[in-house]
Amino acid sequence: MVAAMSPALETMMLAFSGDGELPERALFLGAEAHDGLREWGDLTGWQPFKPKADVWDAAGFSRSDGLPAGRWPVVLVLPGKSKEETLVWFAAARDRLEAGGRLVVAMPNSAGAGRFEKELRKATGGVESLQKHKCRAFSAVDDGTWDESVFAAWRELGGRRVVEGTHFVTEAGVFSCGHVDSGSRLLAGHLPGNLRGSVADLGAGWGVLADTVLRNCGKVERVDLYEADARALDCARENLAEFGGRAGFHWLDVAAGVPGEYDAVVMNPPFHVGQATDVGLGRAFLTSAAGCLRTGGRLFLVANRQLPYEAALDGLGMSWRQLAEDATFKVILADKRR
């Protein structure tokens, strides 16, 4: 039994609740588990976000690590957060749809479902749409009249791009894909050059903090990057290729704990889940950081000024001090005493 299911997924399932037969073969981009999917035939999921991929796997569904090649009669899409990412996923879905196949999308209204339905209609001419649970599910059947130039333009939004003024590459949908995050920039400017030994970068994104450590701290033997978004981690692999074996890459849900023992941890923890603010996720990152530091190890973190992480550090028995702040962010250094 799958525990919590998203309202968008519930709405998507309604698009298959009529008298028609359930799909015999389907591909699910942004796959999330649902008990109703157990009755489907051959279903393949792709999910770049590790906590969701873990739930999908635990429910016993089949998953592809990368975007799979092939064509399916039904392609489902539960898009991510950004506009570009959503359009890129529409194009990816189109590229994997058999002639005559059905593309089905579901999104919360608060994520712009109405707007994206209109976008899809630009390419497909018409869509069928239903609304429930403050979400929309909309679908279109490839009848041979779709405007491929619209999909081509969306396809162009995908792939690697260079962050202006840097050597870093990113892609649509990953955190801060167009620039170095200002919080991370503040933290990078306050990381000392005397770090040594092994360092963990928690929620490493496309690798900007790990790059700073590897570049500036010659006595650091290795930085392990832990990141839930497989696409960001792939960008980090490319961004840090010059450091060879000094960089390690791990697709992991940091909130569930981090293996190993480190001399230092650097992080700009996430605090948004979907559209809601969730300080609990940041606190779970602090607990995991404390858990993987050696006694005497140091945690360098940046956070929005209003986030109450100091009390959490106290609760974890870490002594801390603020190293810097600006109008938006604060940089904290915490020591693991025992």
Helix (H) or strand (E) holding 77: strand 72-77
Name which of 117 and 229 has its Cβ closer to ligand SAM: 229
Considering CB under 6 A, how many residues would be counted as binding ligand SAM? 20
Facing residues of 74 across strands? Answer: 102
Q: How many Å from the N-terminal Cα to the C-terminal Cα in the chain?
A: 41
* Three-state secondary-structure class, residue 200: strand
In the structure encoding, which two tokens stand for residue 227, read together?
A: 């990141």
Choose the stretch contacting ligand SAM; rule: CB under 6 A; options: 33-41, 72-80, 83-91, 223-231.
Answer: 223-231
Are 62 and 44 within 8 A, CB to CB? yes
Q: Does 200 bind ligand SAM (CB under 6 A)?
A: no
For residue 290, the 8-state DSSP code is: H
**Cα-based torsion angle of the residue sequence 294, 297, 300, 305 in order, rounded to the nearest 10 degrees:** 80
The residue (of 101 and 270) whose beta carbon lies closer to ligand SAM is 270
Kindly state whether residue 225 participates in binding ligand SAM, applying the rule CB under 6 A: no
**Are residues 97 and 71 in contact, defined by beta-carbon separation less than 8 angstroms?**
yes
Q: Does 181 bind ligand SAM (CB under 6 A)?
A: yes
And the tokens for 142?
Answer: 């490839």
Q: Residue ranges of the alpha helices (H) in 157-264?
A: 182-188, 208-216, 230-239
268 binds ligand SAM (CB under 6 A): yes
Calculate the alpha carbon distances from 43 to 56, 104, 130, 336 in Å: 12, 14, 23, 46
Q: Which of 175, 249, 262, 300 binds ligand SAM (CB under 6 A)?
A: 175
Min dist. Cβ of residue 307 to ligand SAM (A): 11
Q: Which structure tokens are listed for 313?
A: 């550090």
Binding string, 281-310, against ligand SAM, x = CB under 6 A?
------------------------------
Decide if residue 176 touches ligand SAM (CB under 6 A): yes
Residue placing its CB nearer to ligand SAM in the complex, 227 or 263: 227
Interface mask (CB under 6 A) for ligand SAM, residues 38-77, using x and -? -------------x--------------------------
- Using the minimum distance from each CB to ligand SAM, give the nearer residue, 119 or 201: 201
- Mapped onto helix, strand or coil, the DSSP state of residue 159 is coil
Q: Note whether 234 binds ligand SAM by CB under 6 A.
A: no
The distance of closest approach from Cβ of residue 203 to ligand SAM in the complex, given in angstroms and rounded to an integer, is 3
- Positions touching ligand SAM (CB under 6 A) are 51, 175-176, 181, 184, 203-205, 208-209, 226-229, 232, 253-255, 268, 270
